[in-house]
Amino acid sequence: MAKVGIKSEREITLMRESGKIVGEVLNLVGSLIRAGVTTEELDRAAEEYIRAQGGVPAFKGYGSDKRNLFPATLCVSIDDVVVHGIPGGQRLEEGQIVSIDVGVKKNGYFGDGARTFPVGRVSDERERLMKITEEALYQGIRNATEGKRLHDISSAVQRHVEEAGFSVVRDLVGHGIGKNLHEDPAVPNFGVGGTGLVLQAGMTLAIEPMVNAGTYRVMVDADGWTVRTTDGRPSAHFEHSVVVRPGEADILTR
């Protein structure tokens, strides 16, 4: 019997299809981001593309509270919104940064990825925040190899972020992924290297640093979804779904 969380090569092939759509959606949405566009327009374009590829938006209708399921295809999180921003009539403005998070289900398997984009020209701080967050993602991925421990990923992310003077969000973490959007194990972006479960080839993880310019503390809006920084300073988010391999992790959401 297969160990929990370890995927067969057949399953990984199916996950790669979902992951490819995730990467393509992020490219598409990135090409549409400019001042004046509404977050709803970005959401509509993403949903149309996913369905045209034979996929299903993974976030639409997601949630544990049946009375408040997530209503959209994308999470669109602007400036001080960390994650789970709900698309609507809001227009993007020059100088903002916008995090796009998207999940796709196809053939019974999920892909999940995120990127933060500038709207036109942005401040040096915002530029640097995006750069450090993306670098931290790849520092984490570099540690997602067979024989390492889970918190080697976490500590690599945390070290890179904190050395740059930023902070990692504690209340939200990465996760396993596969037949479910969220599976074990939780993948924190902070922790002590050399601890946590031993990574085995075939484990599939969504690694996703959420990095704040100021405090790591966050709060949830009255809508039950939108998570924002408590100090109102900007946040960035980058994510890939990966397969643990010997030597080097395999990125499914390029």
Question: pLDDT tens-digit profile of 212-250?
Answer: 999 999 999 999 999 999 999 999 999 999 999 999 999
- Three-state DSSP at 6 gives strand
The model's pLDDT over 177-190, given as tens digits with 9 standing for 90+, comes to 999 999 999 999 99
Kindly provide the residue ranges of all beta strands, DSSP E only, lying in the chain, ordered along the sequence.
Answer: 56-57, 74-78, 81-83, 97-106, 109-118, 167-168, 174-176, 183-187, 204-207, 210-212, 218-220, 227-229, 235-237, 240-243, 250-251
Looking at the domain 9-251, which fold is it? Creatine Amidinohydrolase (3.90.230)
For 99, phi and psi rounded to 5 degrees? -95, 130
The model's pLDDT over 60-118, given as tens digits with 9 standing for 90+, comes to 999 999 999 999 999 999 999 999 999 999 999 999 999 999 999 999 999 999 999 99
The model's pLDDT over 27-48, given as tens digits with 9 standing for 90+, comes to 999 999 999 999 999 999 999 9
Angle at alpha carbon of residue 208, lines to 79 and 91, rounded to 5°: 25
Which sequence spans correspond to the domains of the chain? Answer: 9-251
